[in-house]
Amino acid sequence: MAPACSHAALPDALLLQWTRKLPPQRPAWTDDGRAMFDRCYQPAAGGGMLFVASTVNDRLTAYDLAGGAEKWRFYAEGPIRTAPATWRDRLYVAADDGLLYCLRAADGSLLWKRRCCPRDRRLVGNERVISAWPCRGGPAVAPSPARPGRTDVYVAAGVFPFMGTFVCAYDAETGEPVWTGSDSSFVFRRMPHPGSWSWAGLSPQGNLAVAGDRLIAPGGIDSPGVFDRRTGRFLFFGDGVGTSVFGHGKFALCGGALFDAAEGRPVRLEGIRNFGHAVLTERAWYVAGAAYDPCSIELAPAIIKLPETVDPNGPTYDRAILAGTIRRLWTARTGTPWVAVNGRLVVTAGARGATRDRPRTAVQLLDVSDRAAEPKVVWETEIDGQVGDALGSDGRLVVVTLDGTIRCFGPDSRQAKTYESLRPYGPTPTAGAVEPAGPAGRAAALFGDSRGIA
């Protein structure tokens, strides 16, 4: 998931509040690390709860953020591979069953659902029975650029362009369709690797992102697709390759590559080859080891030469880009940035003594309130595992590792609780069922009450 910003302040003294050990996620693609957008749990938070989607048991589970107790469960008809999106008192969940669900955040009840593909056609995919057009372009919510006062939720369905891929916009409140775009399925274009032109389309995999009136859909191991949010019209393929995209003003970032979201031109800034895993905020752009001032960017059109074939001495072609400079605010020996929270930056790095067989991660909270000063470490800890996601909400820091462990750090001095999976995950209840927490709810799921009510 793309790094994020949060407005909830984090205390400088964080204590472990609770730990929840879940089964590791089951990625759709295991043969290419670049396509493993779903290898880690990617929670969302709001209203004092943490919402966790699973590829293992096809469900979205709500936990109490402060204490870690389970509140409710909601089941889809297929794996949920992307992060849920939150808006007001609602949650939006996209699943491999080809559906977008809108839930009430307080209790998980279904408000509406929409099929994001032409029909309910099932097949076996990634060892599961799923839709022929699974929703793997995760939801994004933003004010509608064409309907003043309304809000849209965006989602994308389909994996193989020759079968059609569909990018959809719905009214966030009512679920009424706003538009559906499928014109990115077949485009004759120059491929990202040299010497290759092909009919190729978008294979949306990962959460969508918004940059102004543009919608960006990650393309997995291919370039991201960019759409007009007003009409749904496909515009162009952006720069970079990866499953994590996000927008900031007129710019978009994919796989560490920055491009102009308005026209698609790559952006080349002096001294930066690739942004890597970055956090972009209004105050600063944070990368591993440095921060930059986004207000200082100066760009001008330029032309670069790129190889036409794989032969390094072969012909070249002209590529229009934007080239320029950005002012560096500071450099320091900091790790990978994950989330910026009110003058604090959460970063991670490999801990001392970590090995491939026993990974450990150092988690640090940096004071970046003075954006021009070198950051200071105000809190740090070490945890087992490799970090795959992190977020801040309601004064708490949630850190997720690839082994399925979720840790919550907060200000309260208490005995930290540890929750573990109580049973193997078998067949899921009927899709749309909300299962209450506690022994009665677990018994209902185990013995087949599809409503989850004992």
Give how far Cα 387 sits from Cα of 14, 187, 293, 394, Å. 17, 37, 27, 21
Return per-residue pLDDT of the chain as tens, 454 residues: 545 555 568 889 999 999 999 999 999 998 887 889 999 999 999 999 999 999 999 999 999 999 999 999 999 999 999 999 999 999 999 999 999 999 999 999 999 999 999 999 999 998 899 999 999 999 999 999 999 999 999 999 999 988 999 999 999 999 999 999 998 888 888 877 777 888 888 999 999 999 999 999 999 888 999 999 999 999 999 999 889 998 999 999 999 999 999 999 999 999 998 999 899 999 999 999 999 999 999 999 999 998 888 888 888 889 999 999 999 999 999 999 999 988 999 999 988 877 888 899 999 999 999 988 999 999 999 999 999 999 999 999 999 999 999 999 999 888 999 998 755 454 455 556 666 554 444 444 443 433 332 2
- Give CA 150 to chain center in angstroms: 24
In angstroms, what is the C-alpha Rg of the chain?
22
- How many CB atoms neighbour CB 209 within 10 A? 25
Three-state SS at 447: helix
pLDDT of residue 453: 26
Check residue 23 and report its DSSP letter.
P
pLDDT of residue 199: 84
Name the residue with tokens 């003003």. Answer: 249
pLDDT of residue 40: 95
Structure tokens at 256: 């560490």
Q: What are phi and psi of 34, to 5 degrees?
A: -70, -20
Buried-state track 1-31, b at ≥16 Cβ within 10 A, e below 16 = bbbbbbeeebbeebebbbbbebebbbbbbee
- One of 2.40.128.630, 3.60.70.12, 1.10.260.40, 3.40.50.300 is the CATH number of 26-337, namely 2.40.128.630
pLDDT of residue 3: 54
Whether 298 contacts 340, CB under 8 Å: no
Gap between the Cα atoms of 152 and 157, Å rounded: 17
pLDDT of residue 443: 42
pLDDT of residue 4: 58
Give how far Cα 407 sits from Cα of 7, 29, 122, 371, Å. 20, 26, 36, 28
With the CA atoms of 69, 23, 392 and 213 taken in that order, what torsion angle do they form, in degrees rounded to the nearest 10? -120
Q: Is 206 left (phi over 0), alpha (psi -120 to 50) or beta?
A: left
